[in-house]
Amino acid sequence: MTKLSVNINKIATLRNSRGGNVPNLLRVAQDIESMGAQGITIHPRPDERHIKYQDARDLKGVVQTELNIEGNPIEKFITLVLEIQPTQVTLVPDAVDAITSNAGWDTLKHGKFLKETIRVFKERGIRTSIFVDPDIAMVEGALQTGTDRIELYTEAYSKSYESGDLNGITPFIMAAKRATELGIGLNAGHDLNLENIQFFREQIPNLLEVSIGHALVSESLYFGFKHVIGKYLEKLK
């Protein structure tokens, strides 16, 4: 079964919009785990506009499944991850002012930097993953960085699926097969939702984990967290 890691950034955004501690981020993380999710993902950004750095520290003592911390490996982020030592760190090449992640790493251009950064995390026993586009060259470049996993950036798939073009899955199948051949673990995320997740999972071999936040939270406004998480788990079996 592919594991479901729930990104709770949007819960933090809602909390921050009013100040105070409603909704309680830590309680939500615990409730989501109790409903069956196999991981919690957070993506703290330098301006702390949703997940705050202190949230990451607090969640370390609460999350009982797997804690995945995403972010651009600037010095502040690296220091935070080494302090917390989550189950997994996912490196994303975000610009400081990016609204959301919008591209994978060029693993050839930034290979040396990624290799040095990944080595630091792996020396502390933290599983590493890097965000990449479904490009064979980028997958092969990822091998040279020493990363444990890659996370396929799935926005292009989601757009093609929404338009009715199922051929949009093809680059992802090819990238996934190459990753498996190279012994790289496979994660995926970005714009996956209840409509497109099952087809993606059925077509992608050896998919270990998906990270879903915006769609899952939005769907839960209509159907409730417990119901939506159960639906995702059913589709990922």
Confidence of residue 134 (pLDDT cuts 50, 70, 90): very high
Q: Quickly list DSSP for 94-147.
A: --TT-SS------TTTTHHHHHHHHHHHHHTT-EEEEEE-S-HHHHHHHHHHT-
Q: Per-residue DSSP letters for 147-183?
A: -SEEEEE-HHHHHHHHTT-GGGGHHHHHHHHHHHHHT
Cα(120)–Cα(51) distance, integer angstroms: 23
pLDDT digits (tens, 9 = 90+) for 108-127: 999 999 999 999 999 999 99
Residue 116: active-site member? no
DSSP state of 33: H
Active site residue 110: no
Catalytic hit among 43, 66, 209, 219: 43
Q: Is residue 99 very low, low, confident or very high in pLDDT (cuts 50, 70, 90)?
A: very low
> In the structure encoding, which two tokens stand for residue 135, read together?
């490009």
User: Tokens standing for 10?
Assistant: 């949007």
Q: If you search the block for the tokens 């030592």, which residue do you land on?
A: 85
Q: What is the CATH number of the domain that holds 70?
A: 3.20.20.70
Model confidence pLDDT, tens digit, residues 142-160? 999 999 999 999 999 999 9
Please compute the mean of the pLDDT values over residues 14-28 and round it to a whole number: 96
Query: What domain range is 78 assigned to?
Result: 3-235
Predicted local confidence at residue 94, as pLDDT: 76
Cβ neighbors of 231 (< 8 A, separation 6 or more) are 194, 223
Give the total number of structural domains in the chain.
Answer: 1
Sign of CA dihedral 48, 33, 204, 113: positive
Stronger pLDDT, 94 or 183, i.e. the higher one: 183
Tell me if residue 50 is catalytic: no
Kindly name the residue from 151, 190, 209, 219 that is annotated as catalytic.
190
pLDDT in tens, 49-83: 999 999 999 999 999 999 999 999 999 999 999 99
d(CA 182, CA 225): 37
Asked whether the predicted pLDDT for residue 223 surpasses 90, the reply is yes
- Write down the catalytic residue from 33, 66, 70, 209: 70
Listed as own residue / partner, the contacts of 130-133 with beta carbons closer than 8 Å and 24 or more positions apart are 130/90, 130/91, 130/104, 130/105, 131/70, 131/90, 131/91, 131/92, 131/93, 131/101, 131/104, 131/105, 132/104, 132/105, 132/107, 132/175, 133/103, 133/104
pLDDT attached to residue 40: 98
